[in-house]
Structure formats: structure tokens, C-alpha cells
Chains A and B, each alone.
Chain A
Amino acid sequence: MNYTNSKLRVIIICGIFAALTAILAQITIPIPVVPISGQTLAVGLTATIIGSRYGAIAMICYALLGAAGVPVFAGLKGGAQILLGPTGGYIFGFILTAYVTGLILEKTKYTLTMAMIANTVGMLITLIFGAIQLKFVLDYTWAQAIGTGVFPFIVVGLIKAFLASWLGLAVRKRLLQAKLLPQFHKAA
């Protein structure tokens, strides 16, 4: 097996972004009325910075770490019981969310409008996955699942999507200026 050094770098970067997601998930940004947990924010940031494919891989790694019992989910929770529990769908949703958010940005432009669209679509994917698992684990009807799992989070979700787009673009810009991203993309 020919092991190019770029592959190793991708593995390390994805691993580190999974770790960053775990850390950001524990941070709450104190905004009045709706304190924003860093977990969904981290998903948007990861997708914006390292792109669709590696973002999704980082999220798979994050979910597996949680499954292995490391308390990486919001509120220092961890363990397979969280993934299989009623709220586990949101975490599985992160994988597709990161992929789609990254993909939309890669196919269009890194502007605030596009980032906002990409992150809103991503947020909806997360919520839909969450509602599906909520329905099956707790034997809810579709109406109950959407009522408890999607609607209450839409407004907060939009605020989070805006924050993720804005911060993601700001951080990406700085990383490009520091010539850290082109190196990674060339290597990848």
C-alpha cells in the first residue's frame, strides 16, 4: 500500500476537527433568551473550513468517539445510549449536514448569502434526522415527532445558522490569509 503523506494529513486534520467539535460542544455562547450551544455551530464551521468530504468524515469520527463513551456531546454526555436514544438522530444528522453544507459552498461561492443558505439547509437536515429518530425510538406519530423535534428549534436554528455562516467565513478568511488552508487543500 502506497501511503502518501497527504493521506496522513487528512486523517490527522479530520481527527483534530472531531476533537474541536467535542470542545465547542461544551461551550455555550451567552446570548440573551437563546444561549447557543457550540455543537451545531461547530458542524457548520467544520464544513465551511475543511469542506464537504473531510467535514463529513470528521463528524463520523465525532459520532464514533461518542459511541465509544467519550463525553463529547453537548452537556458532557457520551456513550452509545445517547446515539441510540431519542436525541441521537441529531448527531447522525451532523454527518449529512456537514457534507451538504460543505458541498453547497464548494459548488457556489464563499459569500455570506450562500453560507447562510448552506447552513440553513444543513440545519433542516439535522432537525429532520432528529425528528425521524425521535419518532421511532419513542413511538411518536409524525405530527408529534415534528412538533417536539423540529418546530421549537427552527427560530434558534436560523440564528445559529447565521452565526455559523458569519463566523465560518471570518475564520476561513483568516486561515487563507495565514496560508494554512491552501497547504491543506493542495496536500489533500
Chain B
Amino acid sequence: MNNIIIGQYVPGNSIIHRLDPRTKIIVIFFFVIFVFFANSVASYGLLVLFSFGCAFATRIKLEYIAKGLTPVWLLIVFTFFLHLIMTREGDVLFTIFSFPIYSGALIQGISISLRFFLLILVTSMLTLTTTPIEITDAIERLLQPLKKIKFPVHELALMMSISLRFIPTLLQETEKISKAQASRGVDFKSGPIKERMQAIVPLLVPLFVSAFKRAEDLAMAMEARGYQGGEGRTKLRELKIESRDRWTFLFFAVVIFCLFLTRA
């Protein structure tokens, strides 16, 4: 919880780390779409090769990546068996306890769980190699065109930065308040349900009061420093598309082209 701001980011200097965050977001966005086009052994093999290639290129230990995927393993296995049991297509391969398993079911079970695994693996690459601040910057830049239809892109990015800034502060505040109330005799952990529910009120009220006060302080501080909104503001960190980003796009386009060649 203490390194919530860093999130799942693993510092490093690999080629994937050094890519512009926008490149990574765009490639992953299209990967998520194109993964649904795979329908043959060769096309799935290509996507597996690409995903594991990316994972190796990050130079993050594979065990660490796998650890991040633990919560979804169970769902992948569950989905596999659900499709195995429920699908009734193709020939009967064998029967377990007089329950027929169809060949179509096996194929569908494997392809859906594999597709799902690839989706999770590739999308987790983004957060493993990019800091949340970088991603926020990239989102602001990528959504820039939406400004034309009056979508508040800058405001949304500012809101996200403020949130990021306040998570640790409010977290400390929550701990402080719960200790302060415990020392006054508020008991969160025992007693009848009604009393336990009532015990949450003296925790929440000061938390929300302080949140509103902090908002007011921050607004005044920003106004005092002449904050005028997004128009004409310069950036501390400029994002730049470099040659490695162009090569990545080219490579990804080739992969997608091959994907369509290998489709059944």
C-alpha cells in the first residue's frame, strides 16, 4: 500500500521501458482488438510468440510477471472447464463418469482461455514498464483530438494527477483518524453488527471533512500561483516519438499482417 503510486511499475532500462508510453498504449490497444481475429493454430502460435517476445524484451523476471497474473489463473482454468463441459460440437472424444467430452469443446476451451491469457499478459506489460505519471501524460496527449468536441482532456488529466497526489495523503489521514478514534474508545472489531456499523461514522466524517478542506486549500494555492487552465501551459516532461517507436509500429504492423495470412 505504501508504494501505491509506483503501482506495479518495475524500474528498468529495456527497450520496452524506453518506448514512448503512447507507442505502448496504441500497440496494446490494437493487440486487444486483433487477438480476437486469431482462429487457427498458426495464428495463435504467432500471437503467443509475439506476447512472450515482448515479455522477454522487458527483461523483467518471468516469475515476477507470472506473480502479477495469479488472481486470474483461477478464472482461466474455470472458463476452460466450463466450456469443456457446456459445449456440444464435433465428435465425442471420450467420456468421464458417463459425461461426454466433445472435440469442439476442447478446441473452444483452449482457444478462449489462451486468448484471455494473452490479453492479460500483454496489457500487464504496459503497467509493468511505465509509471502511472507517464501513462497519465500519454492519455492526455492521445485524447488531445477530443478537445475539438469540447471534451475536457486537460481537466481530466489534472484530476488524475490530483488523485495520484492525494492517495498517500488521504491514506495516512485514514490511519491517523482510525487510531485517534480507537484511542477514544471506538471499537471497529467487536460488538453487535449495529454498533460496528455505527463505528464507521466517526471514521468517515472526519475523513470527508478533511478531504473537502484539503480541496479548498489546494484550489486557493493553485489560484494564488495563477493557474489558468490548460491553455498555453508548458510541460516539465515532453513526450517524444523516436526512431525506436517508429520501428515498433512497423514491426507490429508486420505481425498483424502475418496474423491475417495465418488465419484459417
Give the total number of A-B pairs whose CB atoms are below 8 A apart: 195
Q: Does A175 contact B (CB under 8 A)?
A: yes
How many angstroms between the C-alpha atoms of A137 and B160 in the bound complex?
27
Q: Please tell me if the beta carbons of A138 and B75 are within 8 angstroms of each other in the complex.
A: yes
Residues of the A chain whose Cβ atoms lie less than 8 Å from the Cβ of B7:
68-71, 78-79
* A1, A19, A77 pick with most chain B CB within 10 angstroms: A19
Residues of the A chain whose Cβ atoms lie less than 8 Å from the Cβ of B126:
69, 79-80
Which residue of B has the minimal Cβ distance to A3?
Answer: B229
Q: Please tell me if the beta carbons of B170 and A69 are within 8 angstroms of each other in the complex.
A: no
B interface secondary structure, majority? helix
Residues of the A chain whose Cβ atoms lie less than 8 Å from the Cβ of B32:
84
Q: Does B222 contact A (CB under 8 A)?
A: yes
Q: Please tell me if the beta carbons of B188 and A30 are within 8 angstroms of each other in the complex.
A: yes
**B44-52, B128-136, B239-247: which lies at the A interface?**
B128-136
Interface residues of A in 19-39 (CB under 8 A from B): 19-20, 22-23, 26-27, 29-32
Task: Decide yes or no: A138 and B116 within 8 Å by CB, A69-B132, A144-B82 being known contacts.
Answer: yes
Q: Please tell me if the beta carbons of B170 and A16 are within 8 angstroms of each other in the complex.
A: yes
Q: Please tell me if the beta carbons of A79 and B127 are within 8 angstroms of each other in the complex.
A: yes
Q: Does B219 contact A (CB under 8 A)?
A: yes
Q: Does B180 contact A (CB under 8 A)?
A: no
Q: Please tell me if the beta carbons of B156 and A60 are within 8 angstroms of each other in the complex.
A: yes
Q: Please tell me if the beta carbons of A9 and B119 are within 8 angstroms of each other in the complex.
A: no
Tell me the smallest distance from the CB of B161 to a CB of chain A, in Å. Answer: 8
Q: Please tell me if the beta carbons of A138 and B112 are within 8 angstroms of each other in the complex.
A: yes
**A90-98, A103-111, A118-126, A165-173: which lies at the B interface?**
A165-173
Interface residues of A in 133-188 (CB under 8 A from B): 137-141, 144, 163, 166-167, 170-171, 174-175, 178, 180-181, 183-184
Task: Decide yes or no: A9 and B228 within 8 Å by CB, A15-B159, A70-B164, A78-B7 being known contacts.
Answer: no
Tell me the smallest distance from the CB of B97 to a CB of chain A, in Å. Answer: 21
Q: Does A132 contact B (CB under 8 A)?
A: no
Q: Please tell me if the beta carbons of A22 and B200 are within 8 angstroms of each other in the complex.
A: no
How many angstroms between the C-alpha atoms of A26 and B170 in the bound complex?
13
Task: Decide yes or no: A175 and B212 within 8 Å by CB, A23-B167, A69-B8 being known contacts.
Answer: yes
**B55-63, B99-107, B201-209, B253-261: which lies at the A interface?**
B201-209
Residues of the A chain whose Cβ atoms lie less than 8 Å from the Cβ of B18:
none
Q: Does A112 contact B (CB under 8 A)?
A: no
Q: Does A131 contact B (CB under 8 A)?
A: no
Q: Does A128 contact B (CB under 8 A)?
A: no
Q: Please tell me if the beta carbons of B136 and A68 are within 8 angstroms of each other in the complex.
A: yes
Q: Please tell me if the beta carbons of A16 and B28 are within 8 angstroms of each other in the complex.
A: no
Q: Does B120 contact A (CB under 8 A)?
A: yes
Q: Chain B 110-142 against A: per-residue CB contact (8 Å), 1 yes, 0 no?
A: 001000100110011011001010011001000
- 5 more contacts with CB within 8 A, not counting A8-B223, A70-B7, are A16-B214, A69-B7, A69-B9, A86-B79, A167-B197
Which residues does A use to contact B, with CB under 8 Å?
1, 3, 5, 7-9, 11-20, 22-23, 26-27, 29-32, 45, 49, 57, 60-62, 64-65, 67-72, 75-81, 84-86, 137-141, 144, 163, 166-167, 170-171, 174-175, 178, 180-181, 183-184
The 14 sampled A-B contact pairs (Cβ below 8 Å) are A7-B229, A11-B162, A16-B170, A19-B162, A61-B156, A68-B127, A69-B127, A79-B7, A79-B126, A85-B120, A86-B79, A139-B83, A139-B108, A170-B204
The 7 closest A-B pairs by CB, nearest first: A69-B127, A15-B162, A81-B123, A68-B135, A3-B229, A79-B127, A15-B159
